Structure 1
Amino acid sequence: MKTGKILAGILSGAAIGAIAGILFAPKKGADTRKSISEKSNEYMYGAKNKYNDLADNLSHRYDSVKSKMRGKSKQLESNLDGDDKIIY
């Protein structure tokens, strides 16, 4: 069997099992839906926090590299003779 077929079988089996578990759960449907909604909100909140942390981290790194490059550029300019000019 190909890997794709195996993976599809596993995923469909997991989905069927999850649906069966929800249908035969001892809780009322409203309680189950509320529980699912709360859990999904927790996951979304966590994912947003991780995304924001990653974006902040990348932004700080970008600013740091940009600052270092500006410093190197100014140092290079000061090392050049008066006749040499840097063209941007």
Structure 2
Amino acid sequence: MNTIGKIAIAAAAGVVAGAVAGILLAPDKGENTRKKIMDSGKKLTDTVKGKFDGLKVNVRGKAEAMKEEMGELV
């Protein structure tokens, strides 16, 4: 994984961790707190999935380019 991808995932995880900490420290009903935590988890999952899908496309493109270069060299 490239550096930008790692930074993006770390930033997303940090945002969600901060949101969860804020939710847990804020006075609210347990049901509301659990819902907020679940929503934050879903957002993180979607973010990570999107980054992973982008990384897959990037790697596939580079692999195809390498195949073409190797074919030209042979």
- Give the TM-score normalised by structure 1: 0.55
Alignment match, 2:47: 46
Which letter does structure 2 place at the counterpart of 1:39? Answer: S
Give the structure with higher Rg (CA): 1
Instruction: Say how many residue pairs are matched.
Output: 53
Using CA pairs below 8 Å that are at least 6 residues apart, which structure has the higher relative contact order? 2
Any stretches of 5+ residues in structure 1 without a counterpart?
A: 1-17, 74-88
Letter in 2 for 1:56: V
Q: Secondary structure at the match of 1:27?
A: coil
Identity over aligned residues, as a percent?
28
Aligned pair 1:55/2:56, yes or no? yes
Counterpart secondary structure, 1:60:
helix
1:43 deviation in Å? 0.3
Unmatched tracts of structure 2, length 5 or more: 1-20
Question: Which residue pairs with 1:66 in the alignment?
Answer: 67
Structure 1 residue runs of 4+, over 4 Å off?
A: none
CA RMSD of aligned residues (A): 1.6
Give CA-to-partner distance per residue, 1:18-68, whole Å, 9 cap, x none. Answer: 5xx73x641111110000000000001000111111111011000001011
Alignment partners' CA distance in 1, 2:47 and 2:60 = 20
**Who is 2:35 aligned against?**
34
- Identify, as 1 or 2, the structure richer in helix: 2
Q: TM-score, normalised by structure 2?
A: 0.64
Could you tell me how far apart the structure 1 residues matched to 2:52 and 2:40 are?
Answer: 18
